[in-house]
């Protein structure tokens, strides 16, 4: 069984991250520690702080068996990982607006009048937004939290792999979620790597950047 070592070395967290194919199946992540990782990840930025991401943590043998046929090309990652985190976007995320802004007032993060102004301004905008516009917001925010989750996991001594190859049509219903409400974003396998993984070539800054 491998030793899990946390790190605060930002360069190691960023440059040492790899997309892992095979995990040590003996390494388990407690739900308490997973909750800490998700809490840290959830500090990612989001549009008007609506935090539309929702996490489904699949960490039981039964859950993985259910997921495996939906992610058949990634079955090895699913089965050997400590868990797979399915990231969804909630189309009804504005339902939490009152709680989010109310708690911000309660904790002294904003005055009551700012809360009221923000909610009165954004509520009609969100009520009138198209499904496609909402999906764009959700995917952007959920992508931010997913990347942050992978970096936080690395700081906790774990490894990850973002997975886009799975049955997005069936995954919500397979796990008892409302298909029309929750948009599947990606799966993130998490655990302790069996090896260091492979480095990959990245395009130079000059090839991907335009200055103006």
Q: What is the pLDDT of residues 103-149, one digit of tens each?
A: 999 999 999 999 999 999 999 999 999 999 999 999 999 999 999 99
Which two structure tokens, joined as six digits, stand for 46?
């989001």
| Helix, strand, coil abundance in the chain, percent, nearest 5 | 50, 15, 35
Residues 52-108 have pLDDT tens digits of 999 999 999 999 999 999 998 888 899 999 999 999 999 999 999 999 999 999 999
In the block, which residue shows the tokens 């008007």? Answer: 48
- Closest C-alpha among 102, 71, 97, 74 to residue 184: 71
Largest CA distance in the chain: 54
**What is the structure's pLDDT at 65?**
95
Within 10 Å of residue 129's Cβ, how many Cβ atoms? 15
Residues 24-58 have pLDDT tens digits of 999 999 999 999 999 999 999 999 999 999 999 99
**What is the structure's pLDDT at 82?**
97
Cα–Cα distance measured from residue 86 to residue 102, given in angstroms and rounded to the nearest whole number = 28
Which two structure tokens, joined as six digits, stand for 205?
């800054």
- Closest C-alpha among 90, 87, 91 to residue 186: 87
Residues 177-210 have pLDDT tens digits of 999 999 999 999 999 998 887 888 999 999 999 9
Cα–Cα distance measured from residue 13 to residue 86, given in angstroms and rounded to the nearest whole number = 22
- Closest C-alpha among 51, 56, 53, 37 to residue 151: 37
| Residues 77 and 23: beta-carbon distance below 8 Å | yes
């Amino acid at each position: 069984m491998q030793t899990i070592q946390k790190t605060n070395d930002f360069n190691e967290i960023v440059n040492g991250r790899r997309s892992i194919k095979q995990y040590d199946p003996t390494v388990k992540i407690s739900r308490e520690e997973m909750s800490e990782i998700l809490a840290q990840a959830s500090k990612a930025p989001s549009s008007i702080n609506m935090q539309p991401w929702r996490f489904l943590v699949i960490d039981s043998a039964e859950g993985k068996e259910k997921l495996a046929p939906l992610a058949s090309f990634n079955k090895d990652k699913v089965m050997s990982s400590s868990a797979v985190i399915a990231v969804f976007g909630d189309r009804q995320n504005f339902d939490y607006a009152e709680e989010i802004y109310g708690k911000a007032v309660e904790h002294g993060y904003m005055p009551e009048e700012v809360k009221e102004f923000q909610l009165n301004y954004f509520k009609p905008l969100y009520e009138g937004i198209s499904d496609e516009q909402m999906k764009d917001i959700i995917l952007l925010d959920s992508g931010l939290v997913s990347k942050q989750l992978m970096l936080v996991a690395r700081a906790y001594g774990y490894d990850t792999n973002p997975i886009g190859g799975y049955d997005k049509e069936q995954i919500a219903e397979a796990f008892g979620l409302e298909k029309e409400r929750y948009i599947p974003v990606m799966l993130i396998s998490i655990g302790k790597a069996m090896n260091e993984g492979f480095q990959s070539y990245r395009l130079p800054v000059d090839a991907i950047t335009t200055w103006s």
